[in-house]
Amino acid sequence: MKLFDTHAHIGLINEDPIEQLILSREAKQSGVEYIISICNNLQDFFTVYENLSTAKNVYHSIGVSPSEVANPGRDWERQIEEGVRLDKVVAIGEIGLDYFRKFGNRDAQVELFIRQLEMADKLDFPVIIHNRDAGNDVLEILREKLPRKGGILHCYSEDWEYARNALELNLYISFAGNVTYRNARNLHETAKNMPLDRILIESESPFMVPSAYRGKRNKPSYLKATADFIVELRDEPEEEVRQALLDNPLRFFGI
């Protein structure tokens, strides 16, 4: 069964253009038919986009993450508007809030987040959302500003109750390798109870490596371990779950 990696920082795994192409090909050989490449800033986005121009299994998201709030880049809004015209750009992100690292100040993060949500709605793109220790603010903002095309709560780390509230909106929830950790009971409960048509998986490489690869740097080719774990958690037939993990992101990203 083919896999869809909805979130991979290919540029952070390796800066070398040839090595990035090798990573994408290795992933495809491991069953990962589609990858969404994520960059935290716009300079990296345009570089990685060019590096992977011949990688037919890689699509891209463009945006300014909360880590870049102090320096989003010159004319960053114009750059996003130009970037979404590129053929393989399918989303705006990752965008959101990160109160753990305390990038800039909270008001500046919120302003950057809201502006990009507004841009996504105007440009008719979905969003990929980063949330770390900011769950209440993220959800409150999304209730008012979520674009019509919806969004993904990526690398989900909240509990099932939070997911139930989020699912009242046009949101999908994406699980990374940390769902495979033995003590991640809140994620196990959420992944088990999620509506099958709203669940996604991601590598979040080079971070959040599945437990089977602990000690290694994560990469898209390890995604199968996360898919296998989700299949084991769910009560539906295996083929149905695996098909949903492919069909859901294809539908969401319009690929």
pTM: 0.97
- Cβ(95)–Cβ(117) under 8 Å? yes
Q: In 3-state terms, what secondary structure has residue 32?
A: strand
Number of domains in the chain: 1
The pLDDT tens digits of the residues spanning 122-171 come to 999 999 999 999 999 999 999 999 999 999 999 999 999 999 999 999 99
pLDDT tens-digit profile, the chain (255 residues)? 899 999 999 999 999 999 999 999 999 999 999 999 999 999 999 999 999 999 999 999 999 999 999 999 999 999 999 999 999 999 999 999 999 988 889 999 999 999 999 999 999 999 999 999 999 999 999 999 999 999 999 999 999 999 999 999 999 999 999 999 999 999 999 999 999 999 999 999 999 999 999 999 999 999 999 999 999 999 999 999 999 999 999 999 999
- Cβ(23)–Cβ(40) under 8 Å? no
Q: Packing angle between helix 135-145 and helix 106-123, nearest 10 degrees?
A: 30
Here the CATH number for the domain that contains residue 161 is 3.20.20.140
Domain span at residue 233 reads 3-253
Distance CA(49)–CA(156), nearest Å, equals: 26
Strands ordered across the beta sheet of 199-201:
3-8, 32-37, 58-62, 89-98, 127-132, 151-153, 171-175, 199-201
